[in-house]
């Protein structure tokens, strides 16, 4: 069961990498594969047991992915300090844009949900 779910994850990553090399050189292949997996799961309407088992097994090791960025911050601390205000500005701007987008999206979803309840 676990092997089947891991196979699905690897296949979507390989498909994303293939599409990356053929059509979308701007986006990384694993990101394209992740978006394809998202579309597949939305169309299917549920997450199958093998995929759920594989994803939950890999989720245990997610903190290990934070070690290389932490090492990079330590190694390039002087460069980061030199561009500190630009980094802070970019983070604040992206935070504000993300919160505004999430607010607009939530407002539309609540309005659509209320409209569907009124029609029933």
Predicted confidence at residue 120, as pLDDT, reads 67
Q: What digits encode the pLDDT tens for the residues 71-82?
A: 888 899 999 999
At residue 19, the pLDDT reads 93
* pLDDT tens-digit map of 51-110: 999 989 988 888 888 888 888 888 999 999 999 999 999 999 999 999 999 999 999 999
Mean pLDDT, all residues of the chain: 90
Task: Give CA–CA dist 77/58, Å, rounded.
Answer: 30
User: CA of 17: how far to CAs of 7, 20, 22, 58, 62, in Å?
Assistant: 15, 5, 9, 20, 22
Distance CA 50, CA 10 (A): 13
Residue 116 has pLDDT above 80, yes or no: no
């Amino acid at each position: 069961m676990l092997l089947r779910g891991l196979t699905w994850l690897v296949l979507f990553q390989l498909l994303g990498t293939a599409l990356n090399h053929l059509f979308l050189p701007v986006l990384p292949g694993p990101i394209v594969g992740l978006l394809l997996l998202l579309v597949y799961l939305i169309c299917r309407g549920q997450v199958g047991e093998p995929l759920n088992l594989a994803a939950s097994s890999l989720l245990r090791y997610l903190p290990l992915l934070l070690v290389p960025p932490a090492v990079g911050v330590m190694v390039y601390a002087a460069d980061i300090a030199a561009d500190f205000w630009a980094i802070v500005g970019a983070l604040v701007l992206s935070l504000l844009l993300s919160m505004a987008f999430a607010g607009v999206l939530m407002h539309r979803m609540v309005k659509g949900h209320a409209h569907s309840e009124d029609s029933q």
